[in-house]
Structure 1
Amino acid sequence: MKKLYCAVLCFIFLTTLLLSSCKNGDDNKSGRDNSGATVSGDGNYIANIPEKDYGGKSFVFLTCGPNQEHESEIVYNDYTDGGDEKMAKVVNDAISTRNHSVEELLNIEIKEQYVFDTKRKNGEFANKIRLDISAGSGDYHVLTPCIYDGAMLAAEGLLFDLNSDIRYLDMSQPWWDQTFNEELTINDKLYFTVGDIGTTNKSATAALFYNKNLVEKLALENPYDLVREHKWTIDKVTQMAKSISSDDNQDGKIDYNDSMGWSGQLDDMWALFYGSGEKIASIGSDGYPMLTMYNERSTDVIDAMLKLVQDDDHYISANDYWGAEGVAWPSLLTIKPFLQGKCLFFSGNISTTNDFADMDDDFGIVPVPLYDENQEDYHSLINPWVSSCFAVPKNVAVESDKEFVGIVLEAMAAAGKNMIQPAFYEVALKYQNTRDDDSIEMLDRIFASRGCDIGIIFAWGKLDVELQALASAAPGTFTSKYESLKDIAQNQLEETVEFFKENE
């Protein structure tokens, strides 16, 4: 399977159908896929943009991150200065090939300005954008804030509507994430998005990993089959997690030194709630957000979730070990039993597979479980702090040429689907001992259903914090907790809605 991936990837790199189709206008050998997107004769996606020559003009992304040693999802990462090579070579090369293709097509130069921002959420990056726009400055065309900041900047009126303000930008195309767009579109306006143009939105997507050897040893049902049969539910996973628990060091408790069914963290509360089909807030029939956190079904969902995360004999949370053994991130401790073959399930983001290099047992990847078998679809949450999004600021560089921005973004995103997505799949599966079509199918399912809860992103009434806090609350307190915060949340939501209505 690995050889097949590499062969496909090399073939994509050596073709420039995206370029030739745009330049030659030859539609005789092209067609459309099920989404209506234009594809070449051998399946590569083609951006619907005009032929342009920008004479070497720079196209600049303003990006940010909490690490001083930046790893870019936009431009090639050059490690010749001796820095640690963090990004997988296959993805880094795909980014380089994508950029060279688009640069040649449009005669531009793709550049990046990086802002080191330890706070990341409403920190130096957001302040720079505010100051640049108010001062009528800014020599960049596209922002890649964390999703939290995307929402905040939109609510301050600092971003263009991607659906209507930027010519040639087509948010209905498959290289833009359609579930995300649907959940974040307010009265037909979309101010930030994710898609195949970048990689962090994929890396930050929630998933569940399982130990294949333990599934066989414990004679458990095959998770892949359960997913396909629509039987992969919270109750089923909880039942399976109860099949293993051992106080290996005999200290009277189950922790990361022992054996258990599930190793996770507080983010599981968000991922499981979203995975169940419930949301803190959703877009209503009038096109504006509304609170949807509390209802009869969501109460049942919370009860099912708490049966899992409050089972101290079978579930451990990384949030219980801040400061333990002097590690910066407690998940470095709680991942150990999974790597050692002593834990059945480990929850995290897709990027977690990068930590499986030392794992002897084979692992599988599956979506976050359904609430019950009556649920129509699986849902995979994108972490809004970890993931970047893409937005177009109302600054001087963009105001002078919106068409330029739309054409370049469409070209880069379409080429990203052709080149970067296959490379990303290769990386996500690289530490599996046995590559199989099951894993690819599961990644397809996860990425096809990923999105965000607008209530988490805007954090009205801090209901997002309260959802996580329920993990340690007494069973049956969901109703009283929600009642104590709903009026505050509703007032804050209405203020946000009023702003968007006034600025239509």
Structure 2
Amino acid sequence: MKKIISLLLALALLCGAVALASCGDEGSDVTTEGTQETLDTGSQTEGTTNSTELPDPFEDSDIGEKKLVGFEHVDFGGKIFTFEAILNRADWNCYEVAVVDEDASDSLSMAIMRRNDTICELYNCGIEQVTNADGILANDFATEQCHIDIGTGMASLGNLGTGQWYNYHTLGIDLTNPWWDQGFVNDVTVDGRLYAILGDFSLTSFDATWVLFFNKEVLDQNEKLRGTDFYSLVKNNEWTIDKFTELVQKAKQDDGDQIMTTGTADIYGYISSTFGIRGLYFGAGGTYVTKTDDAAGNTTFKHGFNDNASLVAQAVIDIYADDASTIAGYTTVGSQFTNGLALFAPETLDKARNWSEAGLKNFGVLPHPVYSEEQLQSIGYKHNVDNHAIYYIIPKTINYDLSIIANFLEVYGFHSRYIVYPEFLNLYKYNWTNSEEDAEMIDIIMNTRTYDLGYQLNFAGVDAELIAGVQGGTNIIAQLGAELGSVVEERAQDYKDWIKSTDPNA
């Protein structure tokens, strides 16, 4: 392993040796004029791929080692692309963009290194990261210099419409390519403006996705449920909220005192924190705000508190009203589940890694159930992503031809999809859950994520209102529509007007 790492580091040093300084450093010839002479970035037509021609990440293990089709002539002339990296947060697993630890031997870090080295070699460039870059970016904005090519944002989507960041829709990137998170692109684009991006490189956003865990030991020990194949229910389009409710009720095991209580030998069918409520609600097709875009890209908003949302909310309320389910404190949920005192528990995906490293192995991952089979035919599965996901933003301090950063982002996304993303799923298949089926479920989940702006931007506080209603056993959808529906739409319109006013020519 150390020999492999040494070879990778040697290649990384070779890339660094031929690379030029970062975008704003003195002596760099990466300017618009210089770019035309030194870089063959490919034309707009050449730099576009047809996603229907691309294989699944597991169908062609070698595709990630070759240049992206249509980008064969792209050469970045030794330019170093500098990422802002968010690391060392206590509340989330954060990942390095450019792994520099020579002793890093975990497979995901190795995949990140392999992706970067592949890009460096194929396209003649370098990749580096800087941490604590807020001061650097602030200075760049103040002095019109460029030291950061790709910035990062976290829990700040609502603050990006300041006119300081490039609109991804104007960079010449094909945002229909599969390495871009299509849910994010569709849900967060407003009036043709998108100032942040997620994709197959966004490992923290994977971790921040809400999923449904189940304890396999509880399943196997329950005579009513033993032999039930949850994965087949998903594959056969039978994973509905009614089926889920049935399983929750069958899983309940009272310790004999006729009172279900956490901290005892009682086994719940389902346990969650209040945060888990929205996972079921969004998963079954509920929304806070919906958006539509006309042919010209103009966005209109409508609150989501309609008859369908009322049906979904009632189904969620019924689940929590049954004594086979309970709402508990955040840490209590984890201890109950890992100690075999609950069959199902919703959590962010990163808990799989945390629980596995703590010694728990016998658990699985499922999508959130849909409201009905009809939902699968219309909008499909839906999975809420916590609003603390980390995304990439491109500062307007860039002082070189934008086709360069556009082409770099495209190849970065492509090689992430075919080198890093498969390894991410392999960790679940071979390490964290030890199940190929779980990796299949996670792939379904990653491709069905939703970013409701009513939640992401906290329009009118409706998230807290809905959660309180479910917790109290009251269906308040009609009330939310009557009292806050217009407010939600106004907040959404205000957001739209704001980003248009600060960046009118985007």
- Give TM class, smaller chain: 0.7 to 0.9
- Who is 1:76 aligned against? 99
Shift of 1:276: 1.7
List gaps (5 residues or longer) in structure 2.
Answer: 1-14, 16-39, 43-48
- Who is 2:372 aligned against? 372
1:174–1:273 CA distance, 2 compared to 1 (3 A): same
Give the count of matched residue pairs. Answer: 447
Contact 2:453/2:459 (<8 A) preserved: no
Contact 2:385/2:450 (<8 A) preserved: yes
Contact 1:152/1:458 (<8 A) preserved: no
RMSD: 3.6
1:389-433 Cα shifts (integer Å, max 9, x gaps): 122122x2x243322211221222111111111110122234467
- Structure 2 residue identity aligned to 1:470: G
1:459–1:143 CA distance, 2 compared to 1 (3 A): same
Task: Determine helix, strand or coil for the equivalent of 1:145.
Answer: strand
Task: Determine helix, strand or coil for the equivalent of 2:281.
Answer: helix
Contact 1:212/1:361 (<8 A) preserved: no
1:213-232 alignment runs, 5 A limit? 213-218=217-222, 219-220=224-225, 221-232=228-239
- Who is 1:9 aligned against? none
1:297-308 alignment runs, 5 A limit? 297-308=308-319
Distance in 2, matches of 1:453 and 1:42, equals: 34
- Who is 1:4 aligned against? none
Shift of 1:367: 0.5
- Who is 1:352 aligned against? 351
- Who is 2:166 aligned against? 160
1:268-347 alignment runs, 5 A limit? 268-286=276-294, 287-311=298-322, 313-317=323-327, 320-321=328-329, 330-331=330-331, 333-347=332-346
- Structure 2 residue identity aligned to 1:475: T
1:393–1:413 CA distance, 2 compared to 1 (3 A): same
- Who is 1:29 aligned against? none
Contact 2:428/2:439 (<8 A) preserved: no
Contact 2:169/2:193 (<8 A) preserved: yes
Q: 2:127 aligns with which of 110, 113, 119?
A: 110
Q: 2:179 aligns with which of 175, 182, 194?
A: 175
Shift of 1:278: 2.6
Larger deviation, residues 90-99 vs 464-473: 464-473
- Structure 1 residue identity aligned to 2:334: I
1:126-174 Cα shifts (integer Å, max 9, x gaps): x98567535534510112212x413421x2222212122x24x321211
1:131–1:245 CA distance, 2 compared to 1 (3 A): farther
1:78–1:189 CA distance, 2 compared to 1 (3 A): same
Distance in 2, matches of 1:448 and 1:433, equals: 20
Contact 1:37/1:173 (<8 A) preserved: no
Shift of 1:110: 1.2
1:209 aligned onto 2:213: yes
Q: With structure 1 as the length reference, what TM-score do the two structures score?
A: 0.78
Contact 1:363/1:432 (<8 A) preserved: no
Q: 2:385 aligns with which of 371, 382, 386?
A: 382
1:44 aligned onto 2:54: no
1:289–1:269 CA distance, 2 compared to 1 (3 A): farther
- Who is 1:455 aligned against? 454
Larger deviation, residues 465-474 vs 92-101: 465-474
1:244 aligned onto 2:251: yes
Contact 2:271/2:325 (<8 A) preserved: yes
Shift of 1:303: 0.8
Shift of 1:350: 2.0
Shift of 1:354: 1.0
Task: Determine helix, strand or coil for the equivalent of 1:284.
Answer: strand
Distance in 1, matches of 2:93 and 2:288, equals: 33
- Who is 1:233 aligned against? 240
Distance in 2, matches of 1:192 and 1:456, equals: 17
Contact 1:353/1:429 (<8 A) preserved: no
- Who is 1:101 aligned against? 118
Q: 1:143 aligns with which of 131, 151, 171?
A: 151
Task: Determine helix, strand or coil for the equivalent of 1:189.
Answer: coil
1:350–1:360 CA distance, 2 compared to 1 (3 A): closer
1:70–1:365 CA distance, 2 compared to 1 (3 A): closer
Shift of 1:72: 2.6
- Who is 2:46 aligned against? none
- Who is 1:391 aligned against? 393
- Structure 2 residue identity aligned to 1:416: S
Shift of 1:368: 0.7
Shift of 1:500: 4.0
Shift of 1:473: 3.0
- Who is 1:325 aligned against? none
Contact 2:248/2:343 (<8 A) preserved: yes
Contact 2:355/2:361 (<8 A) preserved: no
1:71–1:432 CA distance, 2 compared to 1 (3 A): closer
- Who is 1:416 aligned against? 416
1:247-297 Cα shifts (integer Å, max 9, x gaps): 659796522554211222222222222212232122214341413321001
- Who is 2:19 aligned against? none
Larger deviation, residues 249-258 vs 56-65: 249-258
Task: Determine helix, strand or coil for the equivalent of 1:384.
Answer: coil
Shift of 1:305: 0.8
List gaps (5 residues or longer) in structure 1.
Answer: 1-18, 26-31, 117-124, 322-329
Shift of 1:55: 4.7
Q: With structure 2 as the length reference, what TM-score do the two structures score?
A: 0.78
Distance in 2, matches of 1:469 and 1:134, equals: 44
Larger deviation, residues 486-495 vs 357-366: 357-366
